[in-house]
Structure formats: structure tokens, C-alpha cells
Chains A and B, each alone.
Chain A
Amino acid sequence: MSIDYSENPNQRTPCILILDTSGSMQAATNNGGTRISALNDGIKLLEQSLKDDSTALVRVQLAIVTVGGPQNDADLMMDWTDAIHFQAFPLKADGATPLGRGLRIGLQLVEQIKSDLKSTGISYTRPWMMVITDGEPTDSTDEWLRAVAECKDAESTRKVEIFTIGVEGANMSKISEISSKPPLQLEGVKFKELFVWLSASLSAASKSRPGDKLELPSTDPWRHVGM
């Protein structure tokens, strides 16, 4: 489904979420839930926070790629959607972690949204790709190496800004291959804090003007310090 830009010609800040929904996300948490339920709560909060921000509401765009899940594959779960039309939906955890494949789908979607925006004459900030995983990639070595090479290339040619977040149990050294920026580790299952941060960061990006330095909020509320 394509977006009708004639009703909202605002500048856009696209962000794609690459979310690990593999079997390990079923792991129980201290408060009686599971990682996947904490992730789902976080996404609901992301929806609310974006909708509470009158600028982000009309400027932020989201897409979701899941890695694993009942299909045991990397899938486009939600195509590009304006924040104003975004409705969180529960994700199910199952299967393996074909993260490399998920990253490649993500990069294609980034190129697709830029091309759509360009052809409609809508200006945009550099798209973000936020990768969240609790495991380690199960792709073939070839697929993984190809994916990280594409990510590094997209990052160095300023096609996309990549953030990598490891949930407890994630192979941090493997995820660090994705981006030149070191991955950050989530403290426990502070998905809610993470998504509030993401919303505030996207809001800041969506308000930026030429030459502005983008000041992102502190990651302290959700970041695990020390390894």
C-alpha cells in the first residue's frame, strides 16, 4: 500500500525497525512476562509517544521487519506507514534468527522509501535502521557477510543511519559487525524506556533543519553499562 502524500506534504523522517522475534524471545523475564511481551509493550508505547507529539505524528514514518517468528524467516511485517496511521500489533516469537536476511530487506526498504519521497517532492532526513536482537544470526556465513558488507557500505555512503541494540544473550561481537557505531546493550527488558527514547530521538530528527546538530536524548534510562 502506498502512502498518499497529497494529504500530508510534511518533510519525513523514516525509521525501519529490524526486530528479532526468534524463539529465544520467548524467554521469561523477572516480572513474569516474556521478552516478546516486553517488546510488544515497548512498541505500543512507541505508538503512543509518537502520537502525543504533534510534529513527529505527521513527519515520522515507520516500517517493521521481523526476524524469525512463526514463519521462521525474515519478513516485512509492516510496510512504510506514517506515525499518524501507525497501530502497534503483537508480534509472536518463534524460530531461528536470519538477521542477515532481515538487514538486507531493511536496506531495500530504505532505498524504496527514499525513491518514493524523492519522486513525490517530499524532503526527508537520513533514514534510520534500528536493529534489536537477543541472539546471534543463523544465516549462512555467505549471507551474513554479504549483509554486513551492504550495511557498512550503506552507512559509509550516508544512505542510512544504523543503530544496533543487543538484548541480554545477544552475541555482541557479532552484532558489532553491522555498524561502525558500537552496539548498545539493553538493560534487562527495558523496552519501554528504549522506545520512549526512540520516539524522542525521531521527534528531534523530524524537527531538524539544514546545518543543525542533532542532539539525541541520553540513552541512560535503558542502556546497560558495563559488560
Chain B
Amino acid sequence: MSSEWLNGGANVVGTSHLDSKTPCQDSFAIEYSEDKNWIAAAVCDGAGSAKKSEVGSKLVANAFAKKLIYLSEEFKTKQPGTWINDYIIQQVLNVRNELRKIANSDNLEDYHTTLVACLVGKTGGFVIHIGDGSLVGGVAFEDKNTLVIDYERFISEPQNGEYLNETFFITEPNWIKNIRVTPLPPLDWFLIGTDGGSAFYLNHLNIDKQDFITSFIGEVRKIPPTEWSAKIKKILEDNRAINVTNDDKTLIFFAKKNFINKDLKMMFKNSNTQGIAQENKKKEEEQVFENDKQNKNKAGFQESKFKSHKLLLIILFASSLLLGLVSYFLIN
């Protein structure tokens, strides 16, 4: 059975790491379920300050892609519920134990790594996130002769500490305080990246770089999916990419077949020019809030499309709340 999902992904070592002769500390992993209905992806950014972070990032990325696909198998016999959060927490504990064995120590700071991982099926899914990196995607909507690619936009934003050179890691003792599990709508396309990869499609205010996204999707549309990974690698290695970031870069792109095969002009719901991108974040948040309100008013006719993922969404939302409470009590 072939999957309705297509993907391409690559990572490249950053120029700053080439200068200091450190290896690429980013890792990523992609898995499909046996029936091809589910995909799992994980990207990890090993800390430049940690001695063996490339080991940490590789182990965590591989473990999460595999464990999330295993979780999808459980969906055949179990309804989604709060047990999903228990499962996720258990996987973090397991992977931390694996790292402890390798480190031969309780202190995992040499293996510091961030995590963005997702499990996505036909009707939605969820994303797990600790630290920076991001997942950005959209539910598309055909409007006359154009394809609005962010009719519903989703972002799992990077989360850093107060200072921009400090982020959160799954390997920190207080990881549970910083883990976020967010339900995903039934996305038609999404990009996942470490912070180096995210710099291509998000600006410093976490606003989409729409020009990059539309031209990128436009280009991959023209080539066979087997060439997507090579294309992404080429983009990440381009000399001009040095101006974007000198960090290690990982970028994965997923798209549904029926989305990528539509030969329509792509556009964003609200085009943001460079000027808007420079505006302060507060304005942007107000805009997103306003859009959300408008969407709610318009969403009626799309109801059937969203019905099935609503249940998952509600359950995951409730689970996230529970997770928050558990973390709060654990920490205090």
C-alpha cells in the first residue's frame, strides 16, 4: 500500500562547525507505519557546548521516530486517550535511561539535545517539542484557481530560555517543565527543522517566510519525490545559506500527494511582506488572533473534514492540561 504522504529531508553541517572541526550535531529520523497511514518524524539539535551531543541527538531522533510509529499501531486496538501522554513521558524516561547507560553517569549534559517529533495520520496527530527548532504546516483550501496553503496554519514554536543563546534540552534534569505536546490539525503539508533549518522558513519573530515556502513547494512540485531530499540538501548547502545561519541545518518536508499534485497557484491567506515581518510580535499575535476569529466564522462548511480529528484534538488538549498539572506538581 502506498502512503498518501511524500517526504524529503536532509541535514548539513554548519560553517561554524566546519571552522571549529566539530561534527554535525543535528540528527533526524523518519518512519512510516506498516499500513503507510501514519508517519513519524523527529529532528534533534545537539548542543554546541556539549561534548557528545551528536550521539545524544542521533539516539533521541531514532528512538522517537520508532516509538511514535509503534504508538500508531496501538491505535488499531485502542482509542486515543490520556494514555498517550503517559506513553510519551515513558518514552522520554526510556531514552534518558539509554543515554545514562552510554554516559555511565546520571548527568546527561554531554549529550544535550533538543527534540521536535511528530506523529501524523489522515485526520491529524500531535507534536512533541522541547527547546528550539519548529514545525510549521498548513491545511490547504482550494479557492477558485488558487490554493490557499495556510487556510489553517499550525506552528510549534521554538522555545528558548530568556537569553537567545540558551535553550531547553530533553537531557536536562527539569525536562518535564519544558516538554510541550500539541495536537495537529489534518495538515496537507509541513516543514520540521532544527533552529538552523527553521531559519529558512521562519524569521526571528516566528513569522513565516512566505516567499521561501511558496517557492520551495513550487520547486519540489516540479520534481519527482525521490529527488526531494537531494533538493533540500542543495538548498541547505547553498552559499547564500551562510547568510541565513552558520549553524548545523536540518529540514524535512512532508506533503500529501493530493496537495502536491494540484497544479494551482499557491498563496498564503494573508501575504506578509518583509515590512510586516519586521513589525513587532505583538501586532502579529493580534493578527493571528483576529484570523482565528474569522476562521471560526468561516469554518462551518469544512466541518466534516475536521470532525474526525476533533476527538483526537480534544483528548490531546485535555491530556496536555493533565501533563501541565503533573509537571507543576512534580516541580513544586
Contact = CB atoms under 8 A, between A and B. Distances in A.
A126 B163 contact: yes
A212 interface: yes
14 contacts: A121-B282, A123-B163, A125-B163, A209-B48, A209-B165, A209-B247, A210-B131, A210-B167, A211-B49, A211-B114, A211-B167, A212-B47, A212-B165, A213-B49
B48, B163, B280: residue with the most chain A Cβ atoms closer than 10 Å: B163
A11 interface: yes
A213 B205 CA distance: 24
B45, B132, B165: residue with the most chain A Cβ atoms closer than 10 Å: B165
B164 A124 contact: yes
Interface string B134-168: 00000000000000000000000000101111110
A211 B50 contact: yes
A180 interface: no
Contacts of B265: none
B282 A210 contact: no
A210 B195 contact: yes
Given A6-B280, A121-B280, 6 more contacts: A9-B278, A114-B162, A126-B165, A209-B165, A210-B160, A213-B47
A214 interface: yes
Given A124-B163, A124-B164, A212 B49 contact: yes
B204 interface: yes
B195 A209 contact: yes
Interface of A, secondary structure class, is: loop
Nearest to A215: B20
A9 B203 CA distance: 11
B281 interface: yes
Interface residues of A, number: 19
Contacts of B166: 126, 210-211
Contacts of A210: 45, 47, 114, 131-132, 160, 164-167, 195
A38 to B, nearest CB: 32
Interface residues of B, number: 28
A211 B48 contact: yes
Nearest to A6: B278
B48 A11 contact: no
A29 interface: no
A87 interface: no
Nearest to A211: B47
Contacts of B280: 6, 120-121
A-B CB proximity, top 4 nearest: A213-B49, A211-B47, A210-B167, A121-B281
A140 interface: no
Contacts of B49: 211-213
A9 B53 CA distance: 31
A120 B48 CA distance: 28
A176 B100 CA distance: 38
B261 to A, nearest CB: 37
A123 B112 contact: no
A214 B278 contact: no
